[in-house]
Amino acid sequence: MPTSPDRDPDQPEDGRRGAVGERIREARQAEGMSLRELGSRVGVSASFLSQVELGRAMPSMGTLWTIVSELDLSFDALLGTVTPGAPTPAPADRVREADRIRTVGIPGLQRAGTAPDIRIGGVRWERLTTVDDPLVEFVRVTYSPGSESSPADNMMRHTGWEYMHVLSGQMDMQIGFDRDTVQAGDSLTFDASIPHRISNPYPADCVSIWAVVGRHGYAHPHDITKRLSELGGGPTTGIPFGSSSTHFSD
């Protein structure tokens, strides 16, 4: 029987829990899936999922990732439900209105301090795009000391490829049976369908930039090449990849 994980001590405030829970409920209902069915797939109880949807509980980061994967819901869309307040300008940034340079602004520009974020179990995810992008999930992730992406006996896995670059600190990575420690300046690329886990047993935060490609209905070039090879060549449209529909453009 699936069990309900303990409530996370680092839960976001009520408003964020409510926004995340509402988005999960909308996605589940759009899929025509019951709480019991989703709970069975994710490995948690229907009652716990109900509490999540009502904004009264927040699952661990690994469980949340599994939920959005089962619902084909991107973290971009989930983070888009959380709208932070505008950052307070530093004294040096405060200028007289008469001296302010008039600009139209650049579409897609996201100012420092305005990224929607989710904080769970010492892990902070910040979306680095202004809108939900179906092609890539582009996020800044901070692992505080003692935090982890998932328990050692329940590693994460999903479709797509992940690209990561460490900005500061260090953390331990496990991809399948391979383990290593990554530090500031290191980069890593891996197939996300392989079970993987991230943990920070070190005394300082580890900050990294991540891009996840090919997780929501858009095939990654690696998968396209592999599938074409299996089929012996052929057109680049209408090729099924796993359970998600795949979209191509010439």
pLDDT in tens, 38-50: 998 888 899 999 9
Q: With b meaning 16 or more CB within 10 Å and e meaning fewer, what string describes 162-174?
A: bebebeebbbbbb
pLDDT in tens, 125-172: 888 888 777 778 899 999 999 999 988 888 888 888 999 999 999 999
Structural fold of domain 14-82+113-213 = Jelly Rolls (2.60.120)
Residue 79, helix vs strand vs coil: helix
Please report, for the chain, the start and end positions of each structural domain, with discontinuous segments joined by +: 14-82+113-213, 217-250
Q: What is the percent of the chain with per-residue pLDDT over 90, rounded to a whole number?
A: 26
pLDDT in tens, 194-210: 999 999 999 999 999 99
Q: Which of 72-86, 165-179, 194-208, 211-225 has the lowest average pLDDT?
A: 72-86
Written as one letter, the residue type at 92 is: A
Written as one letter, the residue type at 169 is: G
- pTM (two decimals): 0.65
Spatial distance between the Cα atoms of 125 and 240, rounded to a whole number of angstroms: 31
